[in-house]
Structures are given as structure tokens and as C-alpha cells.
Chain A
Amino acid sequence: MPRALEPQQTPAFFVRGPSPLARLVFFSALSLALIATDSRLHYLTEVRQGFIALLHPLQVVANAPFNLYRTSAEYLTAHNTLVETNRQLSEQALHDGAKLQRLNELEVENEHLRSLLGASQIIAQPARLGEVLHMGRDPFTQKMMVNLGSRQNIKPGQAVVDGDGVIGQVTRVYPFSSEVTLITDKELSIPIQIERNGLRAIAFGAGVDNVLDLPYLPVNVDIQIGDRLITSGIDGVYPVGLAVAEVTNIERNPDSPFAQITSKPVAGIKNHRQVLLISIPEIESALGTVINNTDGSTKAGKPAEKISPVTTSPAGSGSQNVNRQP
């Protein structure tokens, strides 16, 4: 018969230190203080970064067998699978290449039209390829860890996308890794636009796998099942036009002034190993161009000046639309 727990041989009556109750009280107070400090005062960011950096070697060891398995699986891929994927990829590259040629032309044209309108230029946002280390371990949140950190100049707030659409946003940055909150997390919301009619809204994570909510839209809103939601780009974080989700269900309850609209993210949020981290555009320079445009002093503002020569009133300096008014 196996014995689970050996009865203690030498009951040490007098060398036990403080009583369990005293210890419990002490450590409970300590953890409550920690919870309060961490949730309200944000003093512990550096502490957390330090501890995570200390844990990093252990994380590398833990990931090692899986990496080994993956690389060996890659190495042992059958010949015909490789040929097949190669064929598919080159076919796709051909299609994409044809589209890209048109894109270049359209970009030039778009730039030209925007300069004619006096609108600010779209800022290019460079991206970095990162690899998913592991999914978040907390069942209460939707997160994942990526192998790029502050050493690679990753900053909190950067958007994370994959080939199909938006995945989420970097929320915490550690020296060698960073934490990405998925768009399905309850705390994250993303400004979106309906692709079909350009209607803008904000999508909130539902806190469950693969569900996004679109709250606060009236019952008679023009949304249909199957509509694609894309990023609107007005937040300055996500580039314009990335696919976010597809509307899967609309419930119009007569008791409620709002429609209940749920959608399903298009990005393979939990399928991919590689993701793109898009850097945040420089807000200062963007603001600078807007102000210059309204003054009409840069070359972008010149065409607008011809249309309305007297627009020096300071009242409208905030928006560029002033230049276009007859």
C-alpha cells in the first residue's frame, strides 16, 4: 500500500517560528497591498519587467523541446508537400504581384489627389516580423506573448496583424518579449468601419474566443450578416483598411434601443506562429503637416490656396476642410 504522506518523525514543537495565523495575516496584507499598488498606482512596471527578464532563461528552456520538435518536423517534411506548397505560393505570388503593380500606381495617384485636396498624407508604418512564444496562461484574459521586446524597440500600443487581419495590440513590453492583448479581450476595443457602406463604429472584445461585439448601434443600423469590418484608421494606431471581423449574428430586440451585433475575427488569432508588429506613426510630424496645410505655406497647400485665397481666419485652423470651402 503506498503511503501518501509520511507522518512527521520529529514533531518540532518549538522551532516553527510565527504561528500559521500570524503568517497568513502578514502575507494576506502583503498581497492585498501588492494588488492595490499594481492596479491603481502602476509602480510595479519595472519590477515586473525585471522579474520577467529573470524568468526568461526558464521560458527559453521550456520552449526548447517544442522548438526542436517544430524544426525537426520542418526538416522531415515530405518532398511532395514541399513541391505542392511551393507551387501554391508561386501561384499566389503571381496574383499578388499583379495586384501590387496596380497598387503602386494607385498609391501615386492617391498621393497626388490628396495633395490636390490639401489633405494630410497617409503615413507609412513599417512592420516587424515576430514569433508567438506562447498563448496567455490566464483563463480570464485573451493574450499571447511575442518574442520581440524593448531590446527590439517594441513599444506598448503597437498594432499586431497577420496575413488575414488584425490580431491585437501590444500592451506590455519586457526586455526580450512583449505581451499582446488580442482583440477578443474584454479590455480592448478597436475603431472599425463597415467595408460595404463606410459606417464607423467601435468593436469591443467579448472576452470569449473568436467573438467581437458591436454595441451602441441603433436597431435600424445598416449592417447585414456577412458584412466585413475593417479598421477605420482614425485611431492612429491601426493602419486603414485592415480586415478585422465578419458579422455573424444580428439580434434586434424591441425592448432595447440598441441592436446586438456579434462578429467573428478574420485573423487566425490562435493559428499562426508568425505575426507582424506595426510601429506607431510619429504623431508630432503628422500634426505638423496638418498645421502647415491649413496655413497654406507648404506645397501641399498651394492648390487649395488657389481655390480660396482668403482663408487666414484663425478660427478654422484646426481642420483642413476650411481650405476647400468656396
Chain B
Amino acid sequence: MSTVSLKHVYASMLLAMLFQLLPWEGLALELLPDFMLLTVIYWLLRAPHLCHIGTAWFAGLLIDLATGGLFGQYALAYAMTAFLAVSYQRRLALFNIWQQTAYVFFLLLLTQTTAIVLKLFGGNDFPGWDYYLHSLSGILLWLAIIFSPIGVEAPPHKS
């Protein structure tokens, strides 16, 4: 039986939201990884029975609220990412760590691209290519988490 429960999922999402709400400024704001998205992707790949597209959508809605943009922009981006994450989740569990990382990087880029397309339709300007630094820092954080003790803390595997 899996030891990961719904409690863990929501507690980690709350923590991610807290990180998102910290008063970041200047360079930190430009390099900030999307904590919420990383948390959601982690749970989507690890425990798809607890975290599904709806959870991702709701997390995206929270991000919309925190950024002050139009309702539903990040929610849509998160939902599309969640769909791709969930549909390849079975195969991904068999991949090695670097293949998984590459896939997660692709997911991060996809979310940002979806968000930017929606924002451009909403009348915003293209903010420049350093916008994608968020994905880069995101994947570094992902690697840090995976290689740190928190990432290894997996349910006891009885096979």
C-alpha cells in the first residue's frame, strides 16, 4: 500500500503556495521557479490517483489569483500540462531519472509557452527570452529535490 495520502499532497501544495507568495524582488523574481507547478507535476507523476487534472487546474487558478492576471490563464496552462503528464505517467515510471527530468523540463516549457500564448492573446507584450529562465531554475530545483533525501523518501516497496 502506498503511504502517500491526500494530506501529503495538499500540505506540499500549501507549502508551494507559501513559497510563491514570499515577497520576491528584482533578480530573484526573474529567476523564480514555479514551485506550484513542480509540486503538481511531482504528484501527477508519482501519485496520479491522488492528484489529477482537476487538482492541477485548481492550483493554476490559485496562481492566477496570486499573479493578479485574468482568471483561468494559468489554470488552462496547468490543466494541459497535467493532461500530458498523466497520459504518459505509466511509461514514465519505467524511465530512468534523466529521461524523467527531460520530460519534466519539456512540461515546464510547455506550461510557460501556453501561458505566454494566452497572455499575448490577452494583449500583453512578449517579455523577452529570459522569461524561460523560470523553467531552467525549475528543472534545477526538480533535480535538487529528486537527489535530496525528500525525493527518495518513497513508500516501502514490497515486490
Q: Which residues of A contact B106 (CB under 8 A)?
A: none
Q: Which of B46-84 contact A (CB under 8 A)?
A: 46, 48-49, 52-54, 57, 60, 62, 65-73, 75-76, 79-80, 82-83
Contact A6-B53, Cβ < 8 Å, known A38-B71, A137-B67: no
**Minimum CB–CB distance for A1 against chain B, Å:** 8
Q: Which of B118-149 contact A (CB under 8 A)?
A: 118-119, 122, 124-125, 127, 131, 134, 146-147
State in angstroms the CA–CA spacing of A301 and B100 once bound together: 80
Report the interface size class on chain A: 35 or more
Q: Which residues of B contact A15 (CB under 8 A)?
A: 49
| A321 is an interface residue with CB less than 8 A from chain B | no
| A30 is an interface residue with CB less than 8 A from chain B | yes
State in angstroms the CA–CA spacing of A62 and B122 once bound together: 30
Which of A138-146, A149-157, A195-203, A288-296 contacts the other chain?
A: A138-146
Interface of B is mostly: helix
B21 and A20 form a contact (CB under 8 A): no
B25 and A55 form a contact (CB under 8 A): no
State in angstroms the CA–CA spacing of A277 and B124 once bound together: 27
Q: Which residues of A contact B152 (CB under 8 A)?
A: 2-3
| B17 is an interface residue with CB less than 8 A from chain A | yes
Q: Which of B22, B119, B131 gathers the greatest number of chain A CB atoms within 10 Å?
A: B22
State in angstroms the CA–CA spacing of A58 and B15 once bound together: 10
Q: Which of A29-88 contact B (CB under 8 A)?
A: 30-35, 37-39, 44, 47-48, 51-52, 55, 58-59, 61-63, 66
A186 and B125 form a contact (CB under 8 A): yes
Contact A134-B23, Cβ < 8 Å, known A23-B54, A34-B75: yes
Contact A140-B127, Cβ < 8 Å, known A6-B46, A9-B2: yes
Name the residue on A nearest B56 (C-beta).
A27
**Minimum CB–CB distance for B146 against chain A, Å:** 5
Contact A24-B80, Cβ < 8 Å, known A30-B72, A31-B57, A172-B68: yes
A sample of 11 more A-B contacts (CB under 8 A), given A31-B79, A55-B65, A270-B26, is A23-B52, A23-B79, A32-B76, A39-B70, A52-B65, A55-B66, A58-B21, A135-B25, A138-B68, A140-B125, A141-B68
Interfacial residues, chain A to chain B (CB-CB below 8 A):
1-12, 15-17, 20-21, 23-24, 27-28, 30-35, 37-39, 44, 47-48, 51-52, 55, 58-59, 61-63, 66, 133-141, 143, 172, 179, 186, 207, 270
User: Across chains A and B, which 3 residue pairs bring their CB atoms closest together, nearest first?
Assistant: A34-B72, A134-B23, A31-B72
Interfacial residues, chain B to chain A (CB-CB below 8 A):
1-2, 14, 17-18, 20-26, 29-30, 32, 45-46, 48-49, 52-54, 57, 60, 62, 65-73, 75-76, 79-80, 82-83, 86-87, 90, 92-94, 97, 100-101, 118-119, 122, 124-125, 127, 131, 134, 146-147, 151-152, 154-155, 157-158
